[in-house]
Every structure is written in C-alpha cells, then in structure tokens.
Amino acid sequence: MIARSWLRSLLPRLGGAQPALLSMAQVDGPEMSARGLAAMIPAIFACFAATVAFRYAYLLPLAAAASIGVGWGLIILMFDVALMSAAPGRSRAAQALTYGARGAVSLLAALTFAGPLVLFMFGQDIGFQLKADQQAELAAYNRQHIVPLYAAPLSTATAAITAGQQQLAAAAALVATWTATVGTDQVQATCEAGGVSGEAGCQHGSGRIGHGPVYAVRLAELANARASLTAVRARAAALSATLTPQLRALRAKVAGLQAAEQASYQNARARYDRDSGLIARARALAELERGDSLVSRAVELLTLLIITIDLTAVLSRISSHAPSYERVLQAERRKILLCSAMAEEDAADRHDRQRADREADTEIHQAEADARVDIALAEIQARAAAAMARTRGHRDEAAGPDDARPDATRDARPRAYRARAEKSYRGQDAGAGAPAEPVHSMTFAEYVRTSRPHERLAAPMAPALTAAAWTGLGLTTALAAGLATMAPRLAGPAWIAAAFAAAMAGLALSTRGFLRGPVWAQRAALAAAVAGLVLPPLILLHAI
C-alpha cells in the first residue's frame, strides 16, 4: 500500500508536476503519471544499455559496468525530468532547442550503445565467426611469415642429410656387391677344384678335378675380390666415420628448426586466440551483416528501437497535454509575479502615504493657523456685526424677524453638487450602460496569449496553385502506391515517394486543402507542387 502510494506520488513528480499544484488539477493526474513513466522508460533502458555495453563490449567487471549504467540512467532521468518540468508557455525556439538537444543526445546514445547491444544479442554467432576469423588469420600469418622464415634452412639441412645418407648407402651397396663377388669367386674356385662344370651353379670350367691352371685363375679372381672388398669396406668405414657426426648435427639442426617453427606457430596462435576485443567482434559482426541481410536489418531495427525508446520522454512531452495543470501552473507563476509586483507597489504606496502624512501634518498646522486667523477675524466681524446690530436695533426698533433665505441658499448648493457627482460616478451622464450590467472582456494575459501575429495571417491561395499542388500530391501518391505494389525491388524510391506524399498531405490539412495559408504555407505549397510534378518522372527515369 505504501509502495503504491509512493509510486503514485513519484510518477507525477518525474512527469514534471508539483504535487501541491497537481492536487488542484487532479484531472490531469493520469497524464502527468504517464509523463513520469515516459521519463522513466528511457532511464531504465539507458541503464541496461550502458551496463551491457560496458560489461560485454568493453569487458569491464559487472559491478563497474552496473555502476556506470546506473550513473548514465540517472543522467538521462534528470535530463528528461528537466524536459518535463520546462514551462509550457515557452517560445517555439526555446522548445525546439530543448527538444533538439535531447534528440541529439538520444541519437548519439543510440549510436554508441546500439553496437554493443547488437554484439550482445548475436554473441554466439559472433563467437563462431570470430573463431573462424582467428583461424583464417593464423593460417595466413603462418603462410606469410613463419613458413618462409624456416623453409630455407630446413630445406638445406634436409638436402645435406639426404646426400650424406645417399653416400653411405652407396658405400654400403658397394661393400655388399664385393662381398657377393667374393662369395661367388669362392664358389667357382671350389667348383674348379672339384671338377664340376656347368652344373649346381658352377660356371663352365675345365671339368677336371684338382688344382690346375683354371683353378689358379679362380684363386686369383678370389684374391682380387677379397682385396677389393677389403678396400671398399675401408672406404665405407671412413665415409661413415666422416658423415655420421655431420648427419647427426644436421638432424639436430633440423629438429631445432622444426621446434622453433612450432613455437612461433604456437605463439601466433595464442596471440590470435587472444584477439577477441571490441574491434575484432565488430569486424565479425560486419562480416555477419554482409553475409546475412537478417543481421543487418536487425542492427538497423535495434538502432531505431533504441532511438525511439530514448525519445519516449520527448514524444510524450510533445504529444501529451495537461491543460488544467498548465493553467494552474501559469496562474501560480502569475500569482508569484503579481505578488512581487504588489509588494513593490505596496512599498511605493507606503512611501507615498508617509509623504502624504507629512503634507497632511503641514496642512493641519497651516489649517490651525488659518483657523486661528479666521476665528480672530470672525470675532472681529462678530463684534462689528454686534455693534452694527446694536446700531440697527436702536434705529429699527419697530422692524419684524429676519427670514431664513441665506441658510436655504447655503444648503442647496452642496445638495445639487452631491447629486450631480453621484450621477456622474454612476456613469449615467457619461452615457454608459446600466450600472449593474457586467462587463466581459479578455484579461491582458489572455489577450496576449490568444493574440496572433498579423504577418502570419492566412491568405487565399491562387486556384492555379491549389490545382498544381493537388495534382502533385495525386501523382506522388499514385507513384508510391504503384511502386509498392508492382515493383517491390524499388522499395527505396517507393518510400521516398510515400514520405513526400505524407508531407504534402500534412500541408494540405494545415492549409484546408491548399486553399488558405500564411507566407510559409504559400511557398511550401508551390515547392510541393513543383516537387510533386517533377519527382515522379525523375523516380521513374531512375527506375528505368
């Protein structure tokens, strides 16, 4: 219950309302709460986006990323609350400046955070793409740098080993050949000594048993063969003694080179495996976008979504109206202004009153002095009159009592003056209406607020302009509809034509069907007519 009441008072505050004033215009309470919600949504979203961006894209620890996110959300919240609290009656330029600044912040924030959010959304796909990129780049690096570095010495050493091995093999083969020759010659000598000829593997000999001349030849051949075998064996041993250490060294060198090559490869692999930063992932995302239109569309939509969510407060402030609350707010502002003005006037009044008091005191003193003089004069006159009366009394003892004419004359003048003054005060002799008749008029504030500049008075549009503008609007609308239905591949021009047609329709609405408008509307209608008649052929030419 407490949480609900707290939320109920918080939302209007975030919507820029002062609770004391809102209580006087409760009918606008839901509107102000909606504004508060609209101010909260971008803040929450900004908090989430900044946290994700700093955690995933910039790889900060979660606590640090969340702190930055909360900070950014508070900044956006304060920005939007300031926007909501702005005075409603500001000039259009001030409003445009405020909303423009907020829109620019929104756009920049969207461009900053859209990338990291997209990276977060497509994290798995980006991971695969990143791995493939790393392998391809490692292979390229191996091919371009590691292999050329070790290929020449390895090839030289391997060739030397091969040559040495071939020499040793040739020597061994020669030894084997001479060993076989010695064996054959030994067999032939035995055949000749036994008188065996042409059979049992024996060559043609003398066929006589015993040690004859042929046998002596056979023995000589055997002795030569043994001598050759001995010589060949000696050469083979010498060659082996020479080549074996060299071959061992070469093999060791080859092994070392191969190990170094493998180490370089492993180092490069480790380096490429570590290359998973923001740039690498952004590159992988760009490759995914190139490869799949769905990804690029998702990126565009997400950017638009972020901009839209971020602009929720601005849109809400522009589209929503709280006339009662704004009226109360303006009245309060005016009241404060008037209070200060009245205080100023009161001070001036006090000053005037003090001056009047001083003047009155002076006049009183003067009056007292005048009165004393008058009294003295009256006393003198009375004494003179008494003396004259006494004289007349003595002279006219038989005369009757005096009438009261002078007193009547003295009283009649003030009565007539008072009657005329009262009549004048009622305004009767001024020719005004009946005294009790109420006077209705705008106040000065209302007059100023509802006033319209003479320069923006709407003038009738020329019939030719009306006809041209309507024709342009019709052509553009038809072109947009035709392109959208018959040529889906020309979606771009269709959108341009549709947007232009919508703008022209808005202009038609504001000018009551291209019939009346101020200076800007006249010029806009002419521009729209020209563009509406020229744009369709241009788009068609471009399409063809």
Partner 1 sequence: MKPTTTVPEMAARYQPEPTYAGQPAAWSAHRAGAPDRAGARLVARASQAGVSIGYLGTAPLFSGTRAYTGPRTDWLVSPVTSPADVVIPGQQRAQMQLLDQAGVDFPLVYIAHEIRKGQLDIGQPGGQLVEARAAARAVGPVPLHPDTVAAAEQAGRGAQLLIRVLAKALPVAGFMVAAPFVLAGAAVGALVAGLDPVVFGVVPAGSSRARQWTAGQDAAWYVLAQWDWPDPLEPTSRR
Residues that bind partner 1 (CB under 8 A): 334, 337-338, 340-341, 344-345, 348, 352, 421, 424-428, 430-445, 447-455, 457-465, 467-469, 471, 518-519, 522-523, 525-526, 529-530, 533
16 Cβ neighbours under 8 A, 6+ residues apart? 32, 35, 39, 81, 83, 84, 85, 86
CB of 410 to partner 1, least distance (A): 22
* C-alpha–C-alpha distance, residues 171 and 161, integer Å: 15
Helix axes of 519-543 and 463-486: crossing angle, nearest 10 degrees: 30
Q: How far is the CB of 328 from partner 1 (least distance, A)?
A: 16
CB-wise, 397 or 455, nearer to partner 1?
A: 455
Residue 326: CB minimum distance to partner 1, A: 16
Count of Cβ atoms closer than 10 Å to residue 48 Cβ: 16
Residues 6+ apart with CB under 8 A from 331: none
Q: Which is nearer to partner 1, 315 or 457 (CB)?
A: 457
The residue whose two tokens read 């492993």 is 266
Least distance in angstroms from the C-beta of 49 to partner 1:
41
> For the chain, what is the radius of gyration of the CA atoms?
59
Report the C-alpha gap between 362 and 368 in whole angstroms.
Answer: 10
Tokens of 504: 């022209």
User: Of the two residues 396 and 455, which places its CB atom closer to partner 1 in the complex?
Assistant: 455
CB of 428 to partner 1, least distance (A): 8
Which of 290, 351 has the CB closer to partner 1? 351
Q: Which residues lie across from 459 on neighbouring strands?
A: 517
Structure token digits, residue 379: 């006393």
Cβ 534 to partner 1 shortest distance, Å: 9
Give the chain's end-to-end CA distance (angstroms, integer).
Answer: 67
Q: Are 426 and 435 in contact (CB under 8 A)?
A: yes
CB 18 within 8 A of CB 85: no
Closest distance to partner 1 from the beta carbon of 420 (Å):
10
Q: Which is nearer to partner 1, 177 or 428 (CB)?
A: 428
- Minimum Å gap between C-beta 516 and partner 1 is 9
Query: What is the H or E stretch that residue 369 is in?
Result: helix 323-395
The residue type at 310: D
| 76 close to 102: Cβ distance less than 8 angstroms | no
If the CB atoms of residues 4 and 454 are measured against partner 1, the closer one turns out to be: 454
Residues 6+ apart with CB under 8 A from 50: 65, 68, 69, 71, 72, 73, 113
Closest distance between partner 1 and the C-beta of residue 108, in Å?
34
